[in-house]
Amino acid sequence: MRSFPPCSEWAERLVLRSADLSPQDLAARTAHVRTCLSCQAAQQDYDLLELRIRALPPPAFKPLPRLIPSLLEHQETQEEQEDEHTDSSASGNAIIHRFPGKRPSFAPLLSGLLVASIIGAVLVSSLLLLRSQQTTLVAGTLPCASGSIAMSGSSALYPLAQAVARSYQDKCAGASIFVNQSSSSSGLYDVETGTIQIGNSDIVAPARYKNLVDHPVAAVIFAVALNPALRTITNLSRQELQGIYQGSIHNWKELGGPDLPIRLFSRPSTSGTRVTFEQAVLGKPESLPLGPTHVEVDRTDMVADAVQKTPGAIGYLDVTVAMQYGLKVVSLDHHAPSPSLVRSNVYTFWSIEHMYTRGVPAPKSLTDAFIHYMGGNSAQEIATSLGYVSYQQMQGKAVVTHSYSVADA
Amino acid sequence: MSDQRDESLVLQAQAGDQDAFEKLYRLYNNRICLYLARMIGKDEIAAELTQTTFLKAWQALSGLRQPGGFVGWLYTIATNEARNYQTKSQRLFLVSWESYDEDSEEVSQDGGLDDHVVQQEEEELLRTALAMVSINYRTCLVLYIVEGRSQRAIAELLDINENTVCKRIARGKEELRTIYRRLEHEYATFLRKKVKEGR
């Protein structure tokens, strides 16, 4: 491509389609381009780029064919219960408004409480009474709150969050819980800024998130996993992993394996899994530059998929997902990942999974009810069945030593 | 006709009719997904952001005073989602050239790349370059190039002056051209270096 910009007086007319120009402008442009090499080159480049952008394949990923119906239900109820959050991203200059649903809005009442202190006590009592009518008890001690909340963050916690959310919704018909996965850092940011109600994280929130309240829910066991064809590699020491992740070990034959280049699949620095890997296993940050043999991928399932399909690949991820994908899970310093070795902290590549809320959830709100449910026996049984270690079974000392975090920016 | 249909659906949705909003989702989710995919250059993230865009639209629907402006408003939310994503991740700009050269086995014997690999690399360069154009220019550029809208239609959609649209498209195209040329040069230099190193 040529490097000269078009003449400034023609720049705007040069980019437009013929149909967007008047016949006079079109004729004038054509005449000018014939004689101006810079504009000629620019127009050719613009046309070429436009053609090639139009020829790009359609997106490989499609959104869900339908919005999750339950996601839209009872939105207004939750908004009444949760603190009102503003979000500048919803519109260029608008905040997220309360939806004008059929249920009565308590917002005016709340304002009235602040202004009319004389009748405050009466109104508060009324308000609590009204709210309590939205919370029912089923199955013994399970508080069922209605409304809609969203959570996102750690992809390592995603399977558990999703399963427990489903379990809660099965029992509480009026509850709608949307679970998404991104990264621990995104989850923390999103809950701090009020985009979501619960932020899932593998790491402790950095001090800059001053409003977040931690609800530890389980321990997740991570593993170093290899492409299934690397059958002969059963154990890696910390020194060997440091060598791999610093770039001093390039080929599996150096570790007694086949003559195959080592291909690394890491997570971005926003990932709690990566922070845990660096702090619990490597003892230092990953320093190997990205390149043909070192790639970052965004989520746990993407690591699993990449390691499964790439000869010579190594990655680190939730052990359950690694096993679901049939990856070769290796021992670290001759300790295989297992709940018992995690509980005793002999196997050290694990982390406490946290659910963060912005402030203490409003009593009897869906967020509050769900967080309580998460700590209950049903949810902890689900955690165990999915390969997590119940938080109730974790020893205090081990938990403290695994409270990983990242430095404040 | 479609404006009247949209307006009617938006009014129904504002009255609490979820089916009406679901219809709006079905009408526009693919278009928003394509828009976001070109805005950020990452298909999988675009699909997620599409979902988020509609959820935020639902949450904020009562604040939409002109139901006829729903689609433009939706694009504004999507654009903000794209901006937020790029601000937060900043990963787009941290990818090294080497990450484009992921499969050494596909380098042919003369040191060049196979045709299909070259095509994929070029597409990736193009996506990346487009996603690096200033966001105000990029919004108009994507609507103009990808969706094939006229500058007047873009002006109406985004509720901005037609001249502004024209300026943004012009500046966006030149910016895209400059960025693409730079990326192309850097990548070619990288490949030459690799070949010299005897790959």
In this complex, the residue of A72, A289, A298 whose CB is nearest that of residue B21 is A72
| Calpha distance A44→A14 (Å, rounded) | 10
| Nearest C-alpha in A relative to B122 | A52
State how far residue B4 is from chain A, nearest Cα, in angstroms: 22
State how far residue B125 is from chain A, nearest Cα, in angstroms: 11
Are A222 and A157 within 8 A, CB to CB? no
* Per-residue pLDDT, A93: 29
Query: Cβ of A65 and B26 within 8 Å?
Result: yes
| Nearest C-alpha in A relative to B72 | A91
Tell whether B118 is within 8 A of chain A (Cβ).
Answer: no
pLDDT confidence bin for A130, thresholds 50/70/90: very low
Q: Which is more confident, B119 or A294?
A: A294
| Calpha distance A319→A388 (Å, rounded) | 9
> Residue with structure tokens 């070029």?
B122
| Nearest C-alpha in A relative to B148 | A54
Are B164 and B77 within 8 A, CB to CB? no
* Per-residue pLDDT, B165: 92
**pLDDT, mean of residues A190-216:** 90
Percent of chain A with pLDDT over 90: 23
Query: Cβ of B80 and A3 within 8 Å?
Result: no
pLDDT confidence bin for B115, thresholds 50/70/90: low
* Per-residue pLDDT, A300: 85
DSSP B119-171: HHHHHHHHHHHHHHS-HHHHHHHHHHHTS---HHHHHHHHT--HHHHHHHHHH
Q: Which is more confident, B115 or B143?
A: B143
Q: Which is more confident, A383 or A244?
A: A244
Q: Is the pLDDT of residue A182 over 60?
A: yes
Quick count: other Cβ atoms within 10 Å of Cβ A256? Answer: 10
CA dihedral A70, A76, A78, A80 (to 10 degrees): -170
pLDDT tens-digit readout, A38-85: 888 888 888 888 888 888 888 887 777 776 554 555 444 444 444 333
In this complex, the residue of B14, B45, B84 whose CB is nearest that of residue A89 is B84
pLDDT tens-digit readout, B182-192: 888 887 787 77
Q: Which range is most confident: A247-256, A264-273, B85-94, B115-124?
A: A247-256
pLDDT tens-digit readout, A274-295: 989 998 999 988 888 888 788 8
| Calpha distance A3→B78 (Å, rounded) | 33
- Which residues 58-97 on chain B approach chain A with CB closer than 8 angstroms? 58-63, 73, 76-77, 80-81, 83-84, 88-89, 91, 95-96
State how far residue B166 is from chain A, nearest Cα, in angstroms: 6
pLDDT confidence bin for B18, thresholds 50/70/90: confident
Tell whether A57 is within 8 A of chain B (Cβ).
Answer: yes
pLDDT tens-digit readout, A146-177: 888 999 998 889 889 988 998 898 888 888 88
Q: Is the pLDDT of residue B128 over 70?
A: yes
Q: Is the pLDDT of residue A220 over 60?
A: yes
pLDDT confidence bin for A406, thresholds 50/70/90: low
* Per-residue pLDDT, A191: 92
Residue pairs spanning A and B at CB distance below 8 A: 180
Burial of A86 (0-12, 13-18, 19+ CB in 10 A): exposed
Which residues of chain A have a CB within 8 Å of the CB of B81? 89
